Amino acid sequence: MTLSLLIGLPLVGAILVGLFPWEKATKALAFLVSLTVFIFSLQLYTQFDLANAGFQFKELYDLVPNLGIHYAVGIDGISLWLILLTTFLVPLVTLAGFGAFSQRGYYACILLLESAVIGTLVSTDLFLFYVFWEMMLIPAFFLIGIWGGENRVKATIKFVLYTMLGSLLMLVALLYITHEVKSFDYSKIADHFFAEDTQFWCFLAFALAFLIKVPLFPFHGWLPEAYVEAPAGGTVLLSAVMAKLGVYGLLRFCIPLFPDAAKAFAPWIMILAVVGVLHGALMATLQTNFKKILAYSSLSHMGMILLGIFTFSLTGLQGGVLQMVSHGVYMAGLFLLVGMLYERRPSYEMSNFGGWAKTTPVLATLFLLLMAAALGMPGLAGFVGEILILVSAYKANTVLALLAISGFVLSAWYFFYLYGKVFLGPTNKKQNTVLDLSAREIALLLPLATAVLWIGLSPNFFLRPMEKSLQANVIERLKPAPAMTDFAANQRHLQEEMEKDKKGSR
């Protein structure tokens, strides 16, 4: 029941927030609900069986039995941290909205989004997965479209259409797979052998949906606008939570279900990932709008994660997943800080700022800490994941790894440039009235700062639970299958033996 409650609690919370008679109290209600969800989700870690590589906390009910649609959920070491990341960030996002938003709709949308994200991460039935995957779009559409900035409508429509195009093609692939396998069950589909052609097209359709969400380099057209126009909380959810789902989809579905196609596509995706790293970093250096700098840096860092994952080595995969968690934490912190700056002076242009380290020292310090984590400072969150990714990438392809490293040099450049422009330099007069962080704001940033240190100082705590699952659910599946004819013969042989066994046991 744990996982169902994790999906259900935010959903019920969203309805309660929508119907609660006293609108002023809804934000507190939303915060309480999301905090409860977080505390509740901690038992996923405490009860997690480290020795088990398969799915845990499994639940299974029939939904539409004659079409083979089930409510089937379960988690393994890959989804564990992403769920905890989500439940950890949502209360902070809710709390961060207290200053700027008092409408119930905002908080209801955040909770709905949380429910859909958790649903996506725990579904082991592909139909259910698709339902949750698309359900995310509706609250995200409203978060950007209603509470966003000047060009919010254009940004949100672009974002939803990009994502929909990908997921609709995934739907076609899904229809085809279930037509062939006659089941939506993850493990049944994973054990099914698809022909080379089928693998190629299905991988393409699934990967497109996931790579748009990440996004990978040529599919990132929606990103700058959506990230900049969304309210601070919305940007956090987009970059720290929803982008991870794209990578999760690749890890959970694309690679294990279509291993041969994945191997064939891997070099191309690695090249595009490195292009994305460089493109994002170069674009970031050209911006004057600091939210856009962060948006492009997020794009650049997501490229790194993909690079690590498509090396298909344990180090690279572990680095990728760990980096997802740390990217989620430091990007959330940075975007929330940007939101706080915006609340103090409604602008994202660097030229309107300067010398804020003097007037708002606490804000500046926290910004520096999270920025250092993003830069990969040893001892902080970004470092471990990056090292693991770069080491494995270096083994796989030296040139790509070197290019990716140069992306990091650029990232130091634009981050320090940003910090210098906003926090250092001469102050202007009006600034004396600007207040430093309030107790609420410090309270919501401290957990993020702690997490950044924690991941940096004891990465093993995070790496251990995912190791077995990555090995069994990703790497093992990529091992070359016996040749096609042998495989078919093998299958037949196995079947015959099983039938014999059955008869024998009777």
Q: Which is nearer to other proteins, 205 or 393 (CB)?
A: 205
- Residues whose CB falls within 8 Å of the CB of residue 30, separated by 6 or more in sequence, listed in order: 13, 17, 94, 107, 108, 110, 111
Closest approach of Cβ 242 to other proteins, in Å? 15
Closest approach of Cβ 70 to other proteins, in Å? 13
Q: Which is nearer to other proteins, 72 or 437 (CB)?
A: 72
Q: Which is nearer to other proteins, 138 or 350 (CB)?
A: 138
Q: Which of residues 462-481 bind other proteins (CB under 8 A)?
A: none
Please say whether the beta carbons of 276 and 268 come within 8 A: no
Closest approach of Cβ 134 to other proteins, in Å? 4
Closest approach of Cβ 153 to other proteins, in Å? 4
Closest approach of Cβ 283 to other proteins, in Å? 27
Among 12, 35, 53, 165, binds other proteins (CB under 8 A): 165
Which pair of structure tokens corresponds to residue 351? 């030229």
Please say whether the beta carbons of 91 and 38 come within 8 A: yes
Closest approach of Cβ 410 to other proteins, in Å? 36
DSSP, res 72: E
For CA atoms 345, 350, 353, 358, give the dihedral sign.
positive
Q: Which is nearer to other proteins, 117 or 422 (CB)?
A: 117
Among 464, 313, 455, smallest CA distance to 388 is for: 313
Q: Which of residues 9-38 bind other proteins (CB under 8 A)?
A: none
| Amino acid sitting at position 69 | I
Q: Which is nearer to other proteins, 157 or 478 (CB)?
A: 157
Binding residue count for other proteins, defined by CB under 8 A: 30
Query: Is residue 63 near other proteins by the rule CB under 8 A?
Result: yes
Binding part of the chain for other proteins, among 59-67, 327-335, 383-391, 437-445 by CB under 8 A, reads 59-67
Which pair of structure tokens corresponds to residue 101? 């938003």
Among 38, 55, 88, 130, binds other proteins (CB under 8 A): 130
Q: Which of residues 135-164 bind other proteins (CB under 8 A)?
A: 135, 137-138, 141-142, 145-146, 153, 156-157, 160-161, 164
| Residue 190 C-alpha from the chain's centroid | 23
Q: Which is nearer to other proteins, 112 or 302 (CB)?
A: 112
Among 77, 105, 308, 339, binds other proteins (CB under 8 A): 105
Q: Which is nearer to other proteins, 148 or 465 (CB)?
A: 148
Among 39, 64, 481, 498, binds other proteins (CB under 8 A): 64
Among 302, 286, 263, 324, smallest CA distance to 455 is for: 324
* Measured CA angle at 474 (ends 378, 53), to 5 deg: 90
Closest approach of Cβ 168 to other proteins, in Å? 5
Tell me phi and psi for residue 481, to 5 degrees.
-75, 155
Q: Which is nearer to other proteins, 160 or 401 (CB)?
A: 160
Count of residues in the chain: 506
Closest approach of Cβ 69 to other proteins, in Å? 10
Q: Which of residues 256-315 bind other proteins (CB under 8 A)?
A: none
The span from the CA of 158 to the CA of 251, in Å, is 26
Closest approach of Cβ 345 to other proteins, in Å? 22
Closest approach of Cβ 179 to other proteins, in Å? 5
Tell me phi and psi for residue 56, to 5 degrees.
-125, 170
Closest approach of Cβ 338 to other proteins, in Å? 23
Q: 71: part of which helix (H) or strand (E)?
A: strand 69-75
What are the start-end ranges of the E strands in 413-477? Answer: none
The span from the CA of 275 to the CA of 266, in Å, is 14
Binding part of the chain for other proteins, among 130-138, 188-196, 209-217, 462-470 by CB under 8 A, reads 130-138
Binding part of the chain for other proteins, among 46-54, 81-89, 167-175, 331-339 by CB under 8 A, reads 167-175
Q: Cite the DSSP H helix spans in 97-125.
A: 104-122
Report helix, strand and coil shares of the chain as percent, to nearest 5.
Answer: 80, 5, 15
Q: Which of residues 168-207 bind other proteins (CB under 8 A)?
A: 168-169, 171-172, 175-176, 179
Q: Which is nearer to other proteins, 92 or 209 (CB)?
A: 209
In terms of Cβ atoms closer than 10 Å to its own Cβ (0-12, 13-18, 19+), residue 98 is middle
Closest approach of Cβ 433 to other proteins, in Å? 29
Say how many C-beta atoms besides its own lie within 10 A of residue 228's C-beta: 23
Map tokens 């001469």 to a residue: 426
Q: Which is nearer to other proteins, 115 or 360 (CB)?
A: 115
Q: Which is nearer to other proteins, 176 or 394 (CB)?
A: 176
Closest approach of Cβ 125 to other proteins, in Å? 14
Say how many C-beta atoms besides its own lie within 10 A of residue 227's C-beta: 25
Q: Is 486 helix (H, G, I), strand (E, B) or coil?
A: helix
Map tokens 């996002």 to a residue: 93
| Residue 258 C-alpha from the chain's centroid | 22
Beta bridge partners of 70: 62
Q: Which is nearer to other proteins, 157 or 405 (CB)?
A: 157
- Which residues are at the interface with other proteins (CB under 8 A)? 63-64, 67, 105, 130-135, 137-138, 141-142, 145-146, 153, 156-157, 160-161, 164-165, 168-169, 171-172, 175-176, 179
